[in-house]
Amino acid sequence: MNMRIQLNEKEIPRQWYNLSADLPSPLQPPLGPDGNPISPDMLKPIFPNALIEQEVSQDRWIDIPEEILNILLTWRPTPLHRAKALEEALDTPARIYYKNESISPPGSHKPNTAVAQAYYNKKEGVKRLTTETGAGQWGSALSFACSLIGLQCKVFMVRISFDQKPYRKIMMQTWGAECVPSPSNETKAGREVLEKNPDTSGSLGIAISEAVEAAVTDKSGQTKYSLGSVLNHVLLHQTIIGLEAKKQLEKAGEKKVDTVIGCAGGGSNFAGLSFPFIYDKINGAQIDIIPVEPWSCPTMTKGPFLYDLGDASGMTPLLPMHSLGHNFVPPPIHAGGLRYHGMAPLVSQSIVEGLISPLAIHQLECYQSAIFFAGTEGIIVAPETSHAVAVAIREAKKAKEEGKEKVILFNLSGHGLLDLSGYDAYMGGKLEDYEFPTEELEKNLEALKDFPKPKMVKTGQN
């Protein structure tokens, strides 16, 4: 009924793919508070040298160190599944494939970069990493990686997820990490937010401010910061997903893929699957590449391409990206990992250049699709992943209407076993779809009006 396409140990990709090398127009640099480009040196208090080099690298292929591969090999290469049961239930001529990142011990794609980041930090003598987490996937993954590699780890977890998902905190603690709800009283950034709004549900932007502050204010100099998405080096580490998937599709006898889908919060799992296919597209292949976001946090479809801060209080440089404004706090949807105000610069520029076509959808359709998927394919996906599932189902139905034998590939970025309260609320009829808060967007964008503007690189959607 189903089909699982495996790769053996020797077939694991040994290099990451760097999209920066191939974008039609060069990526624009991050800017400091003075509006001038940030030099790599200015990032040294936050990141180890190896990651800064990757952040600005223009090399197309970057070697994966043996030590990182050895850890990745404990669960990679991950399987590619042909979703035969789903296809049959939809009675579609489409062939649907999904890359199953849920089998990593923390249950998502996040350890692909967590292991790499922990490794490079350890190698340069760092003793402790701080980070933020939304849904908890990233915090779990970094805790896991730090535990295996031998680093301390402190996680600032967005308050709404901290409350909705108590098991996430226990998971991080089991791997020896410390986890606190954000905003917290432990940082200046956190205290400022709590003073203004003590009942805030928090946001990734705020949590990032706290985590960066906690790293740079550590007097020992042995603490650095780690980010789970958005930045170039993070997306780079995730490209192992798409590189494996290409080999697996070939093994499955597929000569081409028509549609590639991933959910996108900061952009890392989407980038991981899709960037190797964007490479093909730049080189002439016809592929629809769709990042999917929540209707209530539509960074790519409603947020303009501009320079904005990565966090709420200005601890980060200005990044060229699609953004809803760094103070945007989205409605409390269950897909906590998709509640970020910005989008990775590499993904944002791919939109501007017309290489990918973002889509925003409501959470009720996502849960409905996720339950249909669980009943046919057997995997209970994360609320974030349900966005990709929903669009894969839409595309399969469209293929049926058009009578086309399409090949659809999506990223099953994580399982939902730690996020079941959302399923419970959905099945109990307690979930609603939120309309997008247009007024809040306008207010937030108004606050950015004096920021420098990125150069427009090509005629894009904006």
Q: How far is the CB of 399 from its own copies (least distance, A)?
A: 23
Sequence-ordered list of residues with C-beta below 8 angstroms from that of 189, at least 6 positions apart, any chain: 183, 206, 209, 210, 213, 311, 312, 313, 315
Residue list 149-178, contact with its own copies (CB under 8 A): 167, 170-171, 173-176
Q: How far is the CB of 324 from its own copies (least distance, A)?
A: 31
Out of 290, 321, 380, 393, name the contact with its own copies by CB under 8 A: 380
The gap from C-alpha 358 to its chain's centroid, in whole angstroms, comes to 14
By C-beta, is 80 or 193 nearer to its own copies? 80
Distance CA 433, CA 401 (A): 27
Residue list 414-453, contact with its own copies (CB under 8 A): 415, 417-418, 420-421, 423-424, 427
Distance CA 290, CA 342 (A): 17
Q: How far is the CB of 62 from its own copies (least distance, A)?
A: 21
Out of 112, 376, 413, 444, name the contact with its own copies by CB under 8 A: 376
By C-beta, is 175 or 410 nearer to its own copies? 175
Q: Interface with its own copies includes 251 (CB under 8 A)? A: no
Q: Interface with its own copies includes 9 (CB under 8 A)? A: yes
Q: How far is the CB of 277 from its own copies (least distance, A)?
A: 24
Out of 47, 81, 110, 409, name the contact with its own copies by CB under 8 A: 81
What are the backbone dihedrals phi and psi of residue 368, each rounded to the nearest 5 degrees, phi first?
Answer: -60, -45
By C-beta, is 101 or 258 nearer to its own copies? 101
Distance CA 264, CA 356 (A): 12
Distance CA 298, CA 278 (A): 22
Q: How far is the CB of 384 from its own copies (least distance, A)?
A: 16
| Residue 352 Ramachandran class (φ > 0 left, ψ -120 to 50 alpha, else beta) | alpha
80-82 and 95-100: which strand pairing? antiparallel
Q: Interface with its own copies includes 11 (CB under 8 A)? A: no
For tokens 């098991």, name the residue: 167
Out of 21, 50, 53, 67, name the contact with its own copies by CB under 8 A: 67
By C-beta, is 137 or 323 nearer to its own copies? 137
Q: Interface with its own copies includes 371 (CB under 8 A)? A: yes
Nearest alpha carbon to residue 134 among 66, 234, 62, 201: 201
Residue count, binding to its own copies (CB under 8 A): 44
Distance CA 139, CA 329 (A): 20
Q: How far is the CB of 102 from its own copies (least distance, A)?
A: 9
Residue list 89-148, contact with its own copies (CB under 8 A): 103, 105, 107, 144, 147-148
Query: Which run of H or E residues covers position 225?
Result: strand 223-225
95-100 and 178-182: which strand pairing? unpaired
C-alpha distances in Å from residue 272, one per residue of 86, 119, 251, 254, 345: 24, 19, 20, 20, 14
Distance CA 133, CA 154 (A): 10
Site map (CB under 8 A) of its own copies, residues 206-225, x = contact: --------------------
Please check whether residue 432 is in contact with residue 279, taking contact to mean a CB–CB distance below 8 angstroms.
no
| 183: preceding bond cis by omega (within 30 degrees) | yes
By C-beta, is 107 or 265 nearer to its own copies? 107
Out of 26, 61, 73, 217, name the contact with its own copies by CB under 8 A: 73
15-17 and 61-63: which strand pairing? antiparallel
By C-beta, is 96 or 351 nearer to its own copies? 96
By C-beta, is 99 or 341 nearer to its own copies? 99
Q: Interface with its own copies includes 71 (CB under 8 A)? A: yes
For tokens 């058009």, name the residue: 402
Q: How far is the CB of 424 from its own copies (least distance, A)?
A: 5
Tokens of 216: 């740079």
Binding site for its own copies (CB under 8 A): 1-4, 6, 8-9, 67, 70-71, 73-75, 81, 85, 103, 105, 107, 144, 147-148, 167, 170-171, 173-176, 371, 374-380, 415, 417-418, 420-421, 423-424, 427
